[in-house]
């Protein structure tokens, strides 16, 4: 038994070796001067466009919006209905904690394995309550080191503070609309939509850099990206062929 630590937020007791609170997921140990920070992997283009997004719609306004939080809550329920929550005591859970610790994240995200997502993965939520979703089909095709690269990529988004805008971008790409009929307020206007989708491409560079840091291998990250592209292209061709039958 290690030293027990009491969480300052939810007051749950966890062992020092847990690193992250078993209740709310906040990091229990203070960061050290030699720990990684987002400055070690955040891409300059990402930071510049993120600053532009903050001018178009300040995080304070969006974070306090009841409708956005409601949408995220509904999205988590939808995901959890077709997924299994990763237990931190499993091998996958252990890899998640190891990667999150290496990147010195403030919060450990909940991670779901989605049976219907196919060869994809994404993250969503808010900075203090992030989620990672990985397709079961994708997990089954990856080596353990490629899984580390995948987890590191999604954690990179969280570590860079992408969650608010990354979630909005994911919702847009998945067809989740923020309209008066859906959520009560038109949160995403045309200029913000364009800025979101443009920034999203830049944010992927930061996430790939985080992936490189946790794996310490260019070859592993390259292999992961090649597999994801190849598997999705193959799945798309099969879908198109079946649609023509």
Q: For strand 121-126 and strand 129-135, is the pairing parallel, antiparallel, or unpaired?
A: antiparallel
Enter the DSSP assignment of 39: G
Spot the catalytic one: 154, 170, 216, 244: 154
**Cβ count near 66 (within 10 Å):** 10
| Vertex 110 angle, CA 104 and 113, to 5° | 120
Contact partners, residue 164, CB within 8 Å, separation at least 6: 59, 62, 63, 126, 127
Tokens of 75: 């999205």
154 in catalytic set: yes
Tokens of 208: 């790939």
Partnered with residue 133 across adjacent β-strands are: 112, 122
Enter the DSSP assignment of 126: E
Partnered with residue 85 across adjacent β-strands are: 112
Strand positions, DSSP E, 59-120: 83-85, 110-114
Q: What are the contacts of 44-47 at 24+ separation with CB within 8 A?
A: 45/202, 45/205, 46/160, 46/199, 46/202, 46/203, 46/205, 46/206
Catalytic annotation, residues: 154
């Amino acid at each position: 038994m290690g030293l027990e630590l009491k969480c300052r937020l939810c007051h749950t007791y966890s062992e020092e070796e847990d690193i992250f609170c078993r209740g709310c997921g906040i990091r229990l140990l203070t960061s050290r001067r030699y720990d990684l920070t987002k400055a070690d992997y955040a891409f300059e283009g990402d930071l510049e466009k993120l600053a532009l997004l903050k001018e178009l719609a300040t995080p304070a306004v969006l974070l306090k919006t009841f409708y956005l939080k409601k949408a995220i809550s509904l999205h988590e329920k939808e995901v959890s209905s077709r997924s299994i929550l990763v237990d931190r005591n499993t091998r996958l859970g252990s890899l998640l904690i190891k990667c999150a610790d290496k990147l010195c994240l403030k919060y450990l995200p909940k991670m779901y394995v989605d049976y219907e997502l196919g060869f994809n993965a994404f993250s969503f939520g808010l900075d203090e309550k992030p989620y990672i979703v990985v397709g079961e089909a994708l997990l089954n095709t990856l080596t353990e080191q490629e899984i580390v690269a995948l987890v590191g990529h999604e954690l990179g988004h969280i570590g860079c503070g992408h969650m608010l805008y990354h979630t909005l971008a994911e919702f847009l790409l998945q067809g989740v609309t923020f309209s008066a009929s859906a959520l009560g307020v038109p949160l995403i206007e045309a200029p913000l939509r364009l800025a979101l989708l443009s920034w999203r491409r830049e944010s992927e560079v930061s996430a790939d850099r985080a992936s490189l840091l946790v794996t310490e291998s260019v070859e592993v990250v390259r292999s992961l990206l090649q597999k994801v592209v190849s598997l999705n292209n193959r799945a798309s061709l099969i879908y198109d062929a079946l649609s023509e039958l």
